[in-house]
Amino acid sequence: MFTDQVSIYVRGGDGGNGAVAFRREKYVPYGGPSGGDGGRGGDVILYVDLALNTLFRFTRERHYRAGRGEHGRGKNQTGASGATLRIPVPPGTVVRDLESGMVIADLTEPGQEVVVARGGRGGRGNAHFATPTNQAPRIAENGEPGEERMLELELKLLADVGLVGKPNAGKSTLLAAVTAARPKIAPYPFTTLEPCLGVVVLDAHTDFVMADLPGLIEGASEGRGLGHEFLRHVERTRLLIHLLDGSAADPLADLAAINAELAAFGHGLGEKPQLVAFNKMDLPEAQAQWPAVRQALRAQGYEVFAISGVTREGVRELLNRAAQRLAELPPAPTRPDEIPVFRLEDDERAFWVERQADGWRVHGQRVERLAAMTPFELDEAVYRFHRALEAMGVLDALREAGVEVGDTVRIGEAELVWEE
């Protein structure tokens, strides 16, 4: 089954907790706190796998979690890092954050990969908190939670040449005649229900990838028919071969209608170079219409070829010309919103206070991470958390906002009660 758009949930592994431990051994002059750090959580990585050509696997499994880090141990032993989770995707996959719509990456080439959910840092053990005035700290950090997000994966086929045209114009027949692909062929509209790829080999040094796209009808750019679901795949192609049904009542009107839909969809589809193939020359009605159609199309500036997908008449000439045009055309441009994006993290020191119906909430990357990594069951950890909030200006901001004694203050998953 061809699947070209899915949404998945990904989460990086949580960091392991730091340990509270002490070491006192005979003949060991430097004892004291020896709690080790927690291991880092694993990342979730998407990478290009050339063996894949569909997103179907993601319809069966939609939740992906990397391994969590192990907790620290005594004798300053650091926990093992969590296992990284690597997920293969087909070339041509656009990765977006589902909530913001931001493009995270456009994975098109072998070897490309992107971290979509980072693992959390491991918490520090109590060995890190020893000072000259506190030589036996009973405090350690919890591991940082891993990143989590919903992603939208959208596949746009990578093909050099795209076959477009009305239903039953003969696109599948042509693809089957010139490649090893075997699309379904039948004498009724919308036989092709999903895109199909094939490789055209002209000689030892010349080949290109051709895509048969489901037939378009008027209104496809607005959601009519099947074609609107697959217009995104036309974006990746460098050259279009527009097939006309030579037995149709008005092939010229068909050409104008499909080109209007390509232009209406946008994204540069209307400006893509085209070769026009007048198909079904094995039929008498097509032979009768050919002279008038050829004259009209040449007058409009089109390169037009008379072919028959059944007898292969004129097909070689069409493919040779397609190969020449591809050699002349520049590489497929990347749309501005599909340039691989490296996420710029917000200033982690920034925070803001929000008044809610049942209390207050403090937002901010650094302050929420601090709350997540604080073990509130340890008094020393609570005192340290309070000092950190004071130093960051969070407590002053809450006072200025009007917080009162007894109000609930939420920071991440932590719920605290305000006291002066």
Decide if pLDDT at 7 tops 70: yes
The confidence band for 340, taking pLDDT boundaries of 50, 70 and 90, is: very low
The SS3 of residue 125 is coil
Q: pLDDT tens digits, residue range 180-235?
A: 555 545 443 444 445 676 678 888 778 777 877 765 655 444 444 444 455 666 77
Query: 342 lies in a domain?
Result: no
The whole-number pLDDT of residue 328 equals 86
Q: Are residues 187 and 305 in the same domain?
A: yes
The confidence band for 81, taking pLDDT boundaries of 50, 70 and 90, is: very high
The confidence band for 291, taking pLDDT boundaries of 50, 70 and 90, is: very high
The whole-number pLDDT of residue 88 equals 93
Q: What are the φ and ψ backbone dihedral angles of 6, each rounded to 5 degrees?
A: -145, 165
Of 155, 170, 202, which closes a domain? 155
The whole-number pLDDT of residue 197 equals 67
The arithmetic mean of pLDDT across residues 63-90, rounded, is 94
Q: Are residues 215 and 293 in the same domain?
A: yes
What whole-number distance in Å separates Cα of residue 191 and Cα of residue 186?
Answer: 6
What whole-number distance in Å separates Cα of residue 94 and Cα of residue 103?
Answer: 7
Q: Are residues 71 and 23 in the same domain?
A: yes
Q: Are residues 201 and 260 in the same domain?
A: yes
Q: pLDDT tens digits, residue range 151-187?
A: 999 887 667 888 888 877 777 788 877 775 555 454 4
Average pLDDT of the chain, as a whole number: 82
Q: Are residues 128 and 166 in the same domain?
A: no
Please tell me the pTM assigned to this model.
0.66
The arithmetic mean of pLDDT across residues 222-249, rounded, is 70
Of 155, 175, 202, which closes a domain? 155
Tally of domains within the chain: 3
Of 301, 334, 367, which closes a domain? 334
The whole-number pLDDT of residue 225 equals 44
Q: pLDDT tens digits, residue range 44-53?
A: 999 998 888 7
Q: pLDDT tens digits, residue range 363-416?
A: 988 899 999 999 988 888 889 999 999 999 999 999 998 989 889 999 988 999
Q: Are residues 214 and 306 in the same domain?
A: yes
Residue 394 CA: distances (Å) to CA of 121, 372, 397: 23, 16, 5
The confidence band for 330, taking pLDDT boundaries of 50, 70 and 90, is: confident
Domain that holds residue 369: 352-417
In the sheet with 113-117, reading across from the earlier edge strand, the strands are 85-89, 44-48, 113-117
CATH code at 121? Answer: 2.70.210.12
What whole-number distance in Å separates Cα of residue 84 and Cα of residue 283?
Answer: 60
Could you tell me the end-to-end alpha-carbon distance of the chain, in angstroms, rounded to an integer? 63
The whole-number pLDDT of residue 339 equals 39
- Bridge partner residues of 199 (DSSP): 209
Q: pLDDT tens digits, residue range 92-132?
A: 888 999 888 888 888 888 888 999 999 999 999 999 998 88
